[in-house]
Structure 1
Amino acid sequence: MKKIFGVYTVALALATAVSSVAFAQQIKKFSVIQLTAGMNVIHAEVAANAAEREQGLMFRESMGTNEGMVFLFGAPAQACMWMKNTLIPLSVAFIDRNGRIANIEEMKPQSLDSHCSKGQVYYALEMNAGWFKSRNIKPGTIIDGLPPAH
Structure 2
Amino acid sequence: MKTWFLAAVLLLTSCAAVPESQPFPLAKLRLEQLVIQVQLAATPALRAQGLMFQQHAEPGMLLLYAEPQHISLWMRNTSMPLDVAFIDSDWRIHAIRQLEPFDETAVPSEIAVIAALEMPRGWFATNKLAAGAQLTLLE
For these two proteins, the number of residue pairs brought into alignment is: 120
**2:9 paired residue number:** none
Task: Give yes or no for the alignment of 1:34 onto 2:34.
Answer: no
1:30-57 Cα offsets, whole Å, 9 max, x none, are 1101101122222111111111111000
Structure 2: gaps of 5 or more residues: 1-19
1:1-42 Cα offsets, whole Å, 9 max, x none, are xxxxxxxxxxxxxxxxxxxxxxxxx89711101101122222
> As a proportion of its length, which structure holds more strand?
2
Please say if residues 42 and 68 of structure 1, whose CA atoms lie closer than 8 Å, have aligned partners that are also in contact: no
Task: Give yes or no for the alignment of 1:143 onto 2:135.
Answer: yes
Q: Which amino acid aligns with 2:127?
A: R
**2:47 paired residue number:** 53
Task: Give yes or no for the alignment of 1:86 onto 2:100.
Answer: no
1:53-108 Cα offsets, whole Å, 9 max, x none, are 110000111133xx211011211211111000011111100101221111110111
Structure 1: gaps of 5 or more residues: 1-25
**2:66 paired residue number:** 74
SS of 1:144 mapped into structure 2: strand
TM-score, scaled to structure 1: 0.74
The structure 1 segments of at least 4 consecutive aligned residues displaced by more than 4 Å after TM superposition are: none
- Structure number with greater Rg is 1
CA distance in 1, matches of 2:127, 2:44: 30
Please say if residues 83 and 121 of structure 2, whose CA atoms lie closer than 8 Å, have aligned partners that are also in contact: yes
**1:23 paired residue number:** none
Match of 1:104 among 78, 96, 107: 96
TM-score, scaled to structure 2: 0.79
State the percentage of identical aligned residues. Answer: 36
Q: Which amino acid aligns with 1:134?
A: T
CA distance in 2, matches of 1:82, 1:122: 17
Calculate the aligned-residue CA RMSD, in Å: 1.8
CA distance in 1, matches of 2:97, 2:119: 11
> As a proportion of its length, which structure holds more helix?
1
